[in-house]
């Protein structure tokens, strides 16, 4: 069958034939809006990775040198003591440290240092030449310092809060991507069904034009032989002009829907300029039976917006848990252990560490009790109110989802019922037209009546097509309200 397009006639062999599955797959791969939405989970995953950064240990290295001149003590009596003019102190310092935070809230630090100190003291004895005295030595040390909270920041702290919130944000972004995918599939499916319906409308209008033109030829012949009045020929000509106008409108709608579908399934319209598309198959109807209770259950467990709201509630519960923990005083277990060395030579000072000559250690409990803690208490109250509001909003969302399910099921049942009634209307209109044509042949009717019944038949045919389109779209609306879009279109895609 030739497909009539605005630019003329295009045979089916010259057009790119697309099934609904082809359109959905191309849309998932190429739709720009969906490709943009796919970045959201990636950003959220990077934010989650960054949330673990407080647990990354830090390495601290330091190398330095200091110099200081000590002035002469002005209170020394030169007649009683040998006066000290000045002294110079040089100090070289090398240190390395490793510290960080553990998931339990334990902070740790491992440090090692080595220092070399040289002090030069200058003397100026009476009636003698100035002289100096040098004193140098090495000091070193290693230490381990620990601090573990056991009340505030124990079962949750700021780092663990951010990680949990970031995990929920990743899940929420994935649900947002699922929602974008659902919307895309529904939009493509609706457009495809409208497109197929438009193709059927073009065929109906073309057939109606052909019938009207044949009727005009017949009426002209009857006018010539005097069996019909010239007025009836003019009515047939007017009907032919009207049918041509309707065919042009149907062709224009078919092209617009093809362009809209091309925009949904392509990321380079310039690259596909001139490409013609043709839908494959018709409007096959499979009777459906809808269970409201089952649809409610699916909607409350599978819909992306419901699942996003549940994750939002979880985030607020974690935040409230953190706020409650911040109400406690700061009670920490602390401990440290270290070794020190102090020698005039380099090798012996290292031996002090190896021999554990000068150990030191501390342990104990530190308590920091805020007298007001107003900020923490107010934040806890505020977030508790926020959680209560989120619970009400979640309940509102559930109620809205259930109402949407009710509405789409009613619409689907109505559309399914209209399929039978529009089919009957079409059959009756076709039978009525045939009967009226026979009456006209025997001179018991007028061409005006026949043309009116032709229009009624075309309207009935178009209404039947539209009823089938509306039912298929209504079934997709039910799947969207339930959150079962991918199961309905039988498309497998990784949401990430």
The DSSP annotation for 117-134 comes to EEEEEEE--TTS--EEEE
CB burial of residue 294 (10 Å; 0-12, 13-18, 19+): exposed
Which single residue is written with the structure tokens 């994935």?
A: 174
Task: Give the separation between CA 248 and CA 235, rounded to whole angstroms.
Answer: 20
- Is 11 buried (19+), middle (13-18) or exposed (0-12) by CB count in 10 A? exposed
Instruction: State phi, psi for 149 to the nearest 5 degrees.
Output: -70, 140
Determine the Cα–Cα distance for residues 206 and 225; give it in Å rounded to an integer: 29
- Sign of the dihedral defined by the CA atoms of residues 211, 216, 221, 222, in that order: positive
If one compares 120 and 324, the residue with the highest pLDDT of the two is 324
Cα distances (Å, whole numbers) of residue 239 to 172, 210, 226, 234, 447: 58, 11, 21, 9, 11
Stretch 212-231: mean pLDDT: 76
Of 21-35, 48-62, 346-360, 378-392, where does mean pLDDT reach its minimum?
Answer: 346-360
3-class SS of residue 83: coil
- Crossing angle of the two packed helices 292-302 and 374-441, in degrees rounded to 10: 140
d(CA 164, CA 435): 75
Q: In the prediction, which pLDDT does 228 show? A: 66
CA distances from 413 to 36, 283, 400, 459, 475 (A): 36, 17, 20, 22, 9
Q: Is 51 helix (H, G, I), strand (E, B) or coil?
A: helix
Q: Is 174 within 8 Å of 496 (Cβ atoms)? A: yes
pLDDT of 489 higher than 60: yes
Q: What average pLDDT does this structure show over 289-311?
A: 94
Residue 143 confidence (pLDDT) = 94
CA angle centred on 141, ends 140 and 142, rounded to 5°: 145
Burial, 411: exposed, middle or buried (Cβ in 10 Å; 0-12, 13-18, 19+)?
A: middle
Q: Are 137 and 342 in contact (CB under 8 A)?
A: yes
CB 186, CB 262: distance < 8 Å: no
Is residue 99 a contact partner of residue 109, using CB atoms and an 8 Å limit?
A: yes
Could you read off the pLDDT of 19-32 as tens digits, one per residue? 899 999 999 999 99
Averaged pLDDT, 308-335: 95
- Is pLDDT at 5 greater than 50 in this prediction? no
Strand partners, 446: none
Q: Above 60 in pLDDT, residue 190? A: yes
* pTM score of the predicted model: 0.82
Classify residue 38 by burial, with Cβ atoms within 10 Å: 0-12, 13-18, 19+. middle
Q: In this structure, what DSSP letter does residue 72 have?
A: P
Cα–Cα dist 181/175, whole Å: 10
Contacts of 143 (CB under 8 A, 6+ apart): 109, 110, 111, 112, 336, 337, 338, 339
Cβ atoms of residues 15 and 272 within 8 Å? no
Residue 339: pLDDT above 60? yes
Mean pLDDT score, 27-51 = 94
Judge whether 13 and 215 are in contact, CB under 8 Å: no
Tens of pLDDT, residue by residue over 137-179, are: 888 899 999 999 999 999 999 999 999 999 999 999 999 999 9
- The 3-state DSSP composition of the chain as helix, strand, coil percent (nearest 5) reads 60, 20, 20
Q: Which of 101, 115, 99, 19 is nearest to 60 (CA)?
A: 99
Distance between CA atoms of residues 147 and 322, nearest Å = 20
Rounded Cα distance between 179 and 486, Å, is 11
Residues for the chain: how many in total? 496
Residue 274: the pLDDT is 67
* pLDDT tens column, 425-480: 999 988 988 888 888 777 777 777 888 888 899 999 999 999 999 999 999 999 99
């Amino acid at each position: 069958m030739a497909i009539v397009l605005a630019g003329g006639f295009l045979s089916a062999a010259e057009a790119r034939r697309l099934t609904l599955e082809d359109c959905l797959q191309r849309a998932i791969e190429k739709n720009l809006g969906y490709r943009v939405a796919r970045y959201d989970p990636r950003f959220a995953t990077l934010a989650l990775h960054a949330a673990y950064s407080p647990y990354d240990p830090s390495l601290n290295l330091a190398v330095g040198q200091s110099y200081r001149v000590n002035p002469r003590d002005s209170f020394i009596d030169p007649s009683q003591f040998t006066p000290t003019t000045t002294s110079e102190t040089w100090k070289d310092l090398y240190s390395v440290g490793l510290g960080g935070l553990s998931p339990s809230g334990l902070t740790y630090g491992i440090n090692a240092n080595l220092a070399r100190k040289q002090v030069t003291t200058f003397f100026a004895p009476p009636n003698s030449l100035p002289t100096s005295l040098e004193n140098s030595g090495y000091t070193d040390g290693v230490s381990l310092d620990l601090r573990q909270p056991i009340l505030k920041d124990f079962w949750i702290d700021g780092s663990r809060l951010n990680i949990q919130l970031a995990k929920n944000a990743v899940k929420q972004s994935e649900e947002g991507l699922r929602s974008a995918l659902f919307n895309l599939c529904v939009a493509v499916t609706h457009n495809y069904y409208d497109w197929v319906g438009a193709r059927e409308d073009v065929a109906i209008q073309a057939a109606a034009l052909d019938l009207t033109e044949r009727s005009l030829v017949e009426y002209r012949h009857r006018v010539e032989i005097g069996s019909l009045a010239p007025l009836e020929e003019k009515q047939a000509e007017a009907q032919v002009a009207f049918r041509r106008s309707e065919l042009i409108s149907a062709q224009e709608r078919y092209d617009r829907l093809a362009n809209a579908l091309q925009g949904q399934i392509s990321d380079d319209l310039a690259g596909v300029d001139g490409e013609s598309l043709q839908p494959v198959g018709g409007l096959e109807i499979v009777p459906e039976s809808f269970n409201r209770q089952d649809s409610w259950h699916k909607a409350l467990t599978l819909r992306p917006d419901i699942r996003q709201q549940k994750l939002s509630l979880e985030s607020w519960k974690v935040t409230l848990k953190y706020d409650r923990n911040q109400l406690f005083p700061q009670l920490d277990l602390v401990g440290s252990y270290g070794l020190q060395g102090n020698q005039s030579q380099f090798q012996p000072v290292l031996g002090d560490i190896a021999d554990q000559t000068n150990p030191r250690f501390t342990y104990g409990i530190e308590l920091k009790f805020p007298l007001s803690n107003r900020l923490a208490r107010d934040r806890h109250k505020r977030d508790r109110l926020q959680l209560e509001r989120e619970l009400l909003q979640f309940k509102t969302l559930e109620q809205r989802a259930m109402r949407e399910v009710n509405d789409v099921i009613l619409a689907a049942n109505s559309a399914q019922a209209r399929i039978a009634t529009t089919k009957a209307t079409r059959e009756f209109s076709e039978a009525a037209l045939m009967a009226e044509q026979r009456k006209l042949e025997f001179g018991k009717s007028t061409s005006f009546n026949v043309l009116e019944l032709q229009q009624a038949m075309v309207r009935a045919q178009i209404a039947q097509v539209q009823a089938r389109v509306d039912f298929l779209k209504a079934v997709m609306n039910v799947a969207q309200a339930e959150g079962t879009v991918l199961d309905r279109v039988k498309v497998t895609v990784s949401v990430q």
